Amino acid sequence: MLRTVMLAAARSRACRDLAENTPLLRPLVDRFVAGETLDAVLAATAALTTDRLVTIDHLGEDTHDRAAADAVVDAYVALLGRLAATGLARRAEVSVKLSALGQALPDDDADKIALDNARRICAAAAEAGTTVTVDMEDHTTTDSTLGIVADLRADHPWVGAVLQAQLRRTEGDCRALAGPGSRVRLCKGAYAEPAAVAFRDKHEVDTSYVRCLKILMAGDGLPMVATHDPRLVAIARHLADEHGRGPGDYELQMLNGVRPDAQRELAAEGLTVRVYLPYGTEWYGYFMRRLAERPANLAFFARSLLTRS
Ligand code: FDA
């Protein structure tokens, strides 16, 4: 119930305006977000890549204006240029949301605009010597996003896809995407979805995650196991061993600011750990999804309000 309310608030303009004008939220936002500027995210990337890999997200989503979508592309191209120039591209890639690149525009050719914009980012990533993963948004975008990933992979087979275990369709998508070289990030899914298309019960989502993981680990691609759930991490490690996958043959992925000690411990054990690192001014939607995942984050926020008053 609380999760549904938080996720509805994540899409509300009024809540967003209120949150952005509440300085007391800043410490909690800073836990998850690297900062607002390119310099800030490069500094955070340099620190994290001493023992982990990174995927950087330039925050923004649901862009309804063509110029804003173009500006997002420019920001990614600038970011990739700096990653190359600083040598960080060896250990850092980028994650992109297609709704920030034009997929959500009212135009009839919105998908083509998003594809062309994503192509520009992939070309810049290729030049920098790194990769791109295309985030997955709510279920109304899944077919369009997977179609665009397939088109991008024609030129850049290393483009990563994201699948959400909470969707009923995802086992089938895992089978379709488990081929040679295919980079697939498996997550639970951060969006409020209707029961017709998604499992709503936590246990059902978790068991779906395990079924999907089995398909990806048995396949020929690179499974990217995106979860902070210690039981699922243990199952992933067990399945990797069973299929003879070494540390370089799959990734464990976690969000910046979530279970950082576990991230460091897993990396110290020699496993490949990648941190999803967002930056930029458009933090509201991302931040609200993080609050929705864990009610304790709200308590943390309430405590910070009390200690300041
Ligand atoms: P679960 O929510 O069950 O959490 C397990 C444990 O992890 C919790 O008990 C808690 O200890 C800790 N934890 C989890 N979230 C926390 C938080 N916000 N704050 C503090 N502790 C927390 N989703 C999507 O729809 N599309 C996408 O493209 C992506 N991309 C993505 C990339 C990466 C690298 C990760 C790790 C996650 C995503 N997600 C995503 C988000 C994902 O779908 C999911 O919402 C979160 O990862 C939370 O689910 P868990 O698997 O961590 O399990």
The residue nearest atom 18 of ligand 1, judged by CA position, is 290
249-279 b/e with 16+ CB inside 10 Å = b?
Answer: ebbbbbbbbbbeeebeebbeeebbbbbbbbb
Q: For residue 169, with 0-12 CB atoms within 10 Å meaning exposed, 13-18 middle and 19 or more buried, which class applies?
A: middle
How large is the average pLDDT for residues 284-300?
82
Domain with residues 34-282, CATH architecture: Alpha-Beta Barrel (3.20)
pLDDT higher for 251 or 285?
251
152 class by beta-carbon count within 10 Å (0-12 exposed, 13-18 middle, 19+ buried): buried
For the chain, how many residues are written?
A: 309
Residue nearest to atom 41 of ligand 1 (CA): 190
Give just the sign of the alpha carbon dihedral 193, 197, 202, 206.
Answer: negative
- Span 106-147, pLDDT tens digits: 999 999 999 999 999 999 999 999 999 999 999 999 999 999
Report how far residue 120's alpha carbon sits from residue 294's, in angstroms, rounded to the nearest whole number: 36
308 and 24 Cβ atoms separated by less than 8 Å: yes
Q: How far is CA 207 from the centre of its chain?
A: 21
Sketch the domain layout of the chain as residue ranges. Answer: 34-282
Checking if the pLDDT of 217 tops 70, the result is yes
Q: Which atom of ligand 1 is nearest to the CA of 274?
A: 34
For the chain, percent of residues with pLDDT exceeding 70: 96
Radius of gyration of the chain (CA): 18
How high is the pLDDT of residue 303? 61
Residue 231's Cβ-count burial label (10 Å; 0-12, 13-18, 19+) is exposed
Task: Report the C-alpha gap between 23 and 21 in whole angstroms.
Answer: 6
The rounded distance, in Å, linking the Cα atoms of 236 and 251 is 10
Q: Are 80 and 128 in contact (CB under 8 A)?
A: yes
State the catalytic residues: 135, 185
pLDDT band per the 50, 70, 90 thresholds, residue 17: confident
Contact call for residues 132 and 156 (beta carbons, < 8 A) = yes
- Span from the CA of 85 to the centroid of ligand 1 (angstroms): 31
Tokens of 173: 């998508």
Angle, vertex CA 131, rays to CA 264 and CA 159, nearest 5: 115
What is the pLDDT, as a whole number, of residue 7?
A: 79
Distance 74 CA to ligand 1 centre (A): 28
DSSP state of 224: E
Q: Is the dihedral of CA 197, 182, 228, 40 positive or negative?
A: negative
Ligand 1 atom 43, closest CA? 189
* Lining residues, ligand 1, CB within 6 Å: 135-136, 162, 164, 185, 187-191, 226-229, 253-255, 258-259, 276, 290, 293-294, 297
